[in-house]
A and B are shown apart, each in its own frame.
Chain A
Amino acid sequence: MKQSVFLGTLAATTLLAGAALAQGTSTLDTVKARGELNCGVNTGLVGFAAPDANGNWQGFDVAICKAVAAAVLGDASKVVYIPTTSSDRFEQLTSGKIDLLARNTTWTFSRDTDLRMDFVGVNYYDGQGFMVRKDLGVSSAKELNGATICIQTGTTTELNLADYFKANNMTYTAVPIETNAEGEQQYLAGACDAYTTDASGLAATRAAFADPENHIILPEIVSKEPLGPSVRHGDNAWADIVGWTLNALVAAEEYGITSTNIDELATSSQNPEVQRLLGTSGELGKMIGLEPNWAMNAIKAGGNYGEIFAATIGESTPIGLARGLNAQWTQGGLLYAPPFR
């Protein structure tokens, strides 16, 4: 008797839970109840996500996880980092193992629609480039006709490469590789004339060579690679939270709010937009289902967008990426946070 009651309850719970998942359980409630954010990150990409010697994750994508955890839970350390590979990242998200995917993932039509994900914004505008040895004597990607090219399989770069060469009526031989490290090795060993991946990755790779001066990155950028955090399709409230956390970081840079002056600005700033953003006036936090100081916590976690960029991949780091497209719209870049009102 007792057992059948138990089994019945179990079956009912399973059904209900399944139905709830189908309709979209509130991810926000799940995260709050758990007290931790499950954040899918790269298993290791220089500057974007990597654990240090003590096992603490660092990087540009990791900073998004921290900011969201700070906004939702008030504590940037309440993140469980779940390393995902390029082949299982979408499954991890749709199956509910991670609440948020912040893993240098390109926002494309099919991923947004067919794979049932929702991209909530762009945290890095990237584009695909080529690196060649200087002594190859090539100065433009248009001269790569007939070249062998090392390319990571299962990524958008593979498709872009095919498109680009077809559009320019050129041929190439692909040398398929699995990871960036393998690609570097193949390229250095001379297995391919050119190595292609996102320009940020090329810069980082070149910086790690023993002889960076002997390699050049060709000027052509052959694709648009807007990299951004994504969430499961169907939970719009959660998508709003992640998206607006990212917007808050961008807006903070625009308004000059940094991790050092944020406390001072919270009390003294006369700018109504800053006040609303930091929760000293208005009720933005309530509208999004969070505490009034949610954005303040998010910015305190790692600083504003510009501070995060400078600390992880910017020009003062060994990777040395310039802001380029990722500058504020006021500086000629593409970062443009919608108004906080």
Chain B
Amino acid sequence: MKATSAPFVRREMLAPAAPPITEAGAVKWLRENLFSSPLNVILTVLGVGAVVYLVSHIAPWMLRGVWNAGSLSECRQIIEARYGEGVTGACWALIRERWPQYLFGFYPSELYWRPVLAFVLMLVAIAPVLFDALPRKMLWFALVYPAIGFWLLWGGSVWVPVMALAGFGVGYGAAKIVQPIAGAILGGIAAVLAPVLWWLFLSGPAAETLQSVLPIALQEVRSREFGGFILAFTIGFTGIAFSLPLGVLLALGRQSDMFIVNKLSVGFIEFIRGVPLITLLFTASLLLNYFLPPGTDFDIILRVIIMVVLFAAAYIAEVVRGGLAALPRGQYEAADALGLDYIKAQRLIIMPQALKISIPGIVSTFIGLFKDTTLVVFVGLLDPLKGITDAVRASTDWKGVYWEPYIFVGAIFFIICFGMSRYSMYLENKLKTDHR
């Protein structure tokens, strides 16, 4: 008997069907990420509602903004003419008119090229520090940049910064001469003492003599004329550049077994961290005047920079100490087992690892430092956020403007701080050696 019917076997493949609509594409993503449970549905709706509310209130105001006007009342007239009675809008014309003042403060306008050049050179100087793909020889430029930057910003005789730099040469020379005669320790002392004596007593007269022989000078600009972002950058970047090495030294001092070094470091760190920055700034600006002889012209920006460096260094020291503490004990022992001396062990084994761990903390300290530069308004310097803004608002043309300058200055601060934050993430990724 012949089988009348074979069991059914499909001969041709079914065309692949699209996955159910709830399991693919945007819908799936939405279901999984935004509407996965009743609670999440509520939170999503509330969140979207809040964003829509904020944007719908702020965006039209910003978009209705006027860029070309001579005063606030003119801004208002233009907006009323365009959008009808009673409509409000931003008056960005203020930023447009006072843009140079926000950037340079009262820096003489014919000399604007100097801070701009200083800024560009600063980028060149920090590039090899930030990106190790660049030639290492550029680091030499980074080392002499502080003198160049100082000369460009403040002007005056070129010999003052040159002689200041020469101090390092003096220290090197002293060490070279003393070391073969009197040994390493005295050589080290000479290397520190000679430049200090040079800076205190000789560099000034030497600069004057050279200036009279070969006068090269830029027009002098005084600290009072600094303001706005040039001030924030000067204080912020100098603070960042100098507080890191000082902070690392303090962290090592705090870990040291040497009694005096240890106690001094602890005392310094705890004192500085226990006192608000504003107190230190007031001390720098006002209290010092009572102790210094009258007529002493100790530059106000220099004082502020010193205080900011000390302040940030104390915080960096604690961040780095955290990094040091996080290193396994075995790393220290390995360094000892290799027979490395203290400096080599720190340089080759401990610090690279400790600093890598500390990157996020160090960068947030830097970001904090940069934002804290606005506090100089309390010692009468014109910071961009409040100093310049108050000055601008006090003109009869712009009185009554409130949010626009804050938004503008805030945006610039955000760009810079966000940049720093992204760089720290890039660095963390690049240095990641573990296999998590």
A binding-site residues for B, Cβ under 8 Å: 3, 6, 13-14, 17-18, 20-21, 25, 30, 42-47, 49-55, 80, 82-85, 87-88, 91-92, 95-97, 179, 181, 184-185, 204-205, 207-210, 317-319
Contact of B399 among A83, A88, A92, A204 (CB under 8 A): A204
State the CA gap A95–B243 with chains docked (Å): 30
State the CA gap A30–B225 with chains docked (Å): 22
Cβ contacts B159-180/A at 8 Å (1 or 0 each): 0000000000000000000000
Q: Is residue B268 contacting chain A, with contact meaning CB distance below 8 A?
A: no
Is the CB–CB distance between A51 and B380 below 8 Å?
Answer: no
Of the stretches B20-28, B142-150, B285-293, B419-427, the one at the interface is B285-293
Q: Is residue B154 contacting chain A, with contact meaning CB distance below 8 A?
A: no
Specify which chain B residues have a CB less than 8 angstroms from the CB of A97 in the assembled complex. 286, 289
In the assembled complex, the CB of A164 is this many whole angstroms from the nearest CB of chain B, namely 27
Is the CB–CB distance between A88 and B379 below 8 Å?
Answer: yes
In the assembled complex, the CB of A174 is this many whole angstroms from the nearest CB of chain B, namely 21
Q: A80-B224, A85-B378 are in contact. Are A51 and B106 (CB under 8 A)?
A: yes
Which residue from chain B places its CB closest to the CB of A47 in the assembled complex?
Answer: B396
Specify which chain A residues have a CB less than 8 angstroms from the CB of B392 in the assembled complex. 44
Interface majority SS (helix, strand, loop, mixed), chain A: mixed
Q: Is residue B97 contacting chain A, with contact meaning CB distance below 8 A?
A: yes
Specify which chain A residues have a CB less than 8 angstroms from the CB of B396 in the assembled complex. 46-47, 50, 204, 317-319
Is the CB–CB distance between A20 and B294 below 8 Å?
Answer: yes
Please count how many residues in chain B sit with their CB below 8 Å of the partner chain's CB atoms.
39
Is the CB–CB distance between B394 and A88 below 8 Å?
Answer: no
6 interchain residue pairs of minimum CB distance: A44-B394, A208-B400, A50-B394, A17-B293, A95-B289, A55-B106
Q: A21-B294, A43-B391, A317-B396 are in contact. Are A88 and B88 (CB under 8 A)?
A: no
B binding-site residues for A, Cβ under 8 Å: 72, 76, 88, 97-98, 100-101, 105-106, 109, 197, 201, 224-225, 282, 285-286, 289-290, 292-295, 377-380, 382, 387, 390-396, 399-400, 402
Specify which chain A residues have a CB less than 8 angstroms from the CB of B395 in the assembled complex. 44, 46, 50-53
Q: A53-B97, A53-B98, A88-B379 are in contact. Are A43 and B390 (CB under 8 A)?
A: yes
Specify which chain B residues have a CB less than 8 angstroms from the CB of A92 in the assembled complex. 286, 380
A-B contact count (CB 8 A): 108
Is the CB–CB distance between A83 and B76 below 8 Å?
Answer: no
Which residue from chain B places its CB closest to the CB of A319 in the assembled complex?
Answer: B396
Specify which chain A residues have a CB less than 8 angstroms from the CB of B98 in the assembled complex. 53
26 contacts between A and B (CB under 8 A): A3-B197, A3-B201, A6-B201, A14-B293, A17-B294, A17-B295, A21-B294, A30-B295, A46-B393, A47-B396, A49-B394, A50-B394, A50-B396, A51-B391, A53-B97, A53-B395, A54-B109, A55-B105, A85-B380, A88-B378, A95-B290, A205-B399, A208-B400, A209-B400, A317-B396, A319-B396
Q: A17-B295, A43-B377, A95-B290 are in contact. List 19 more A-B contacts (CB 8 A).
A: A3-B201, A13-B293, A18-B293, A30-B295, A43-B387, A44-B391, A46-B394, A46-B395, A46-B396, A50-B394, A53-B101, A55-B105, A83-B380, A88-B378, A88-B380, A91-B286, A96-B294, A97-B289, A205-B400
In the assembled complex, the CB of B25 is this many whole angstroms from the nearest CB of chain A, namely 45
In the assembled complex, the CB of B279 is this many whole angstroms from the nearest CB of chain A, namely 13
State the CA gap A49–B394 with chains docked (Å): 7
In the assembled complex, the CB of A185 is this many whole angstroms from the nearest CB of chain B, namely 5
State the CA gap A97–B100 with chains docked (Å): 28
State the CA gap A85–B224 with chains docked (Å): 15
Q: A53-B98, A208-B72 are in contact. Are A83 and B391 (CB under 8 A)?
A: yes
Specify which chain A residues have a CB less than 8 angstroms from the CB of B387 in the assembled complex. 43, 83
Specify which chain A residues have a CB less than 8 angstroms from the CB of B225 in the assembled complex. 55
State the CA gap A185–B402 with chains docked (Å): 7
State the CA gap A209–B292 with chains docked (Å): 47
Please indicate which of the listed interface residues B100, B225, B286, B379 has the most CB atoms of chain A within 10 Å of its own CB: B286
State the CA gap A14–B292 with chains docked (Å): 7
